[in-house]
């Protein structure tokens, strides 16, 4: 039926009210692991309320990012602090509501290495077990948790992580009359920098690199100050340096990934899409269009490639890449 001047449009005041679908319940969790000698052991928790065995997870607090919630829930349910290394997968299923209906639930899972801590029974969890992945499969109560474990096993637990950040907002280049290398963050950019200051330490960075731009250095300066890490200035991560020799920029990123501990690299919008695309193409990793909003983060996971190397050990290749458009969004 077409809509005319004399007929109310569907959804108008003469129609029966239609209930909006329930908003999804957002949650986050992690495959918490430790070195078991013969391979990784993962933590499973028993919840007496449901009499089930699952991976640690829980609902997001208002305004909380998935990464923050995953770390918080791991601590609350297991007693262990942890260091994130990469996003694993997103799981969708439905949960019962108090009105008898069901609501969609969306859970983001990360890989997290256990740090300090001791388990103690609490209101939600009365038992924790460290199990090899093959043992954990037989213990988990839900198929979707087994799928998360499968995603965890797709890459070695010990992988190299680089957090590739585009600098936060610094206004328009056309409106800045001074030396562009000295263009500072705006107030909105400082808010983005504060959000990154909260997010990036969850991944345990041990090194920080920046293009020679004040706005890049200011974006990561609060993290460097807190962690007492110097910022290494790398011209190849600037637009003019990278575009002059992209192969050298890719080689530098691989050398950064091969260093000790996770790294943060702050670069520019003229660098990041091409750099990530080249890393992905060389590894045969399909990514599609590579976005790069100001204040965004690419979590790049590198693993050893047994098919290449120079005799001193396996070369690194990009194994996974996950994008966070804006920590304030």
Positive or negative, the CA dihedral 241, 246, 247, 252 is positive
Q: Would you say 210 and 216 are in contact if contact means Cβ atoms under 8 Å apart? A: yes
Q: What is the pLDDT along the chain (329 residues), one digit of tens a residue?
A: 333 333 333 343 445 555 667 788 999 999 999 998 888 999 999 999 999 999 999 999 998 999 999 999 999 999 999 999 999 999 999 888 877 788 899 999 999 999 999 999 998 999 999 999 999 999 999 999 999 999 999 998 889 999 999 999 999 988 898 899 999 999 999 999 999 999 999 999 999 999 999 999 999 999 999 999 999 999 999 999 999 999 999 999 999 999 999 999 999 999 999 999 999 999 999 998 999 999 999 999 999 864 444 444 458 999 999 999 988 86
| Calpha distance 166→293 (Å, rounded) | 7
Chain-centre distance for alpha carbon 177: 36
| Calpha distance 256→250 (Å, rounded) | 10
Contacts of 191 (CB under 8 A, 6+ apart): 328
pTM of the complete model: 0.89
| Beta strands 40-47 and 127-132, pairing class | antiparallel
3-class DSSP state for residue 316?
strand
| Calpha distance 240→244 (Å, rounded) | 6
């Amino acid at each position: 039926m077409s809509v005319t001047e004399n007929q109310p449009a569907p959804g108008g005041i003469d129609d029966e009210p239609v209930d909006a679908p329930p908003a999804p319940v957002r949650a986050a969790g992690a495959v918490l692991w430790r070195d078991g000698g013969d391979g990784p052991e993962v933590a499973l928790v028993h919840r007496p309320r449901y009499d089930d065995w699952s991976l640690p997870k829980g609902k997001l607090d208002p305004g909380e990012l998935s990464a923050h919630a995953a770390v918080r829930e791991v601590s609350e349910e297991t007693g262990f602090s942890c260091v994130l290394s990469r996003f694993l997968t997103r799981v969708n299923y439905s949960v019962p509501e108090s009105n008898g209906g069901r609501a969609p639930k969306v859970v983001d899972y990360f890989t997290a290495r256990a740090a300090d801590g001791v388990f103690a029974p609490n209101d939600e969890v009365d038992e924790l077990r460290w199990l090899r992945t093959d043992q954990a499969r037989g213990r988990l109560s839900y198929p979707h948790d087994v799928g998360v474990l499968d995603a965890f096993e797709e890459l070695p637990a010990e992988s190299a992580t680089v957090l590739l950040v585009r600098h936060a907002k610094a206004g328009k280049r056309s409106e800045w009359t001074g030396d562009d290398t000295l263009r500072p963050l705006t107030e909105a950019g400082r808010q983005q920098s504060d959000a990154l200051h909260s997010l990036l330490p969850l991944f345990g960075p041990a090194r920080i690199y920046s293009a020679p731009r004040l706005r890049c250095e200011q974006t990561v300066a609060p993290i460097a100050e807190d962690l007492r890490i110097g910022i290494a200035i790398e011209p190849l991560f600037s637009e003019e340096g990278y575009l002059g020799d992209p192969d050298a920029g890719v080689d530098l990123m691989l050398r950064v990934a091969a260093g000790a501990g996770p790294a943060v690299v702050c670069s520019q919008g003229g660098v990041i899409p091409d750099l990530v695309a080249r890393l992905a193409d060389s590894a045969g990793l399909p990514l599609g269009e590579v976005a790069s909003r100001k204040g965004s983060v690419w979590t790049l996971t590198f693993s050893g490639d047994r098919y290449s190397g120079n005799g001193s050990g396996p070369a690194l290749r990009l194994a996974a890449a996950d994008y966070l458009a804006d920590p304030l969004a």
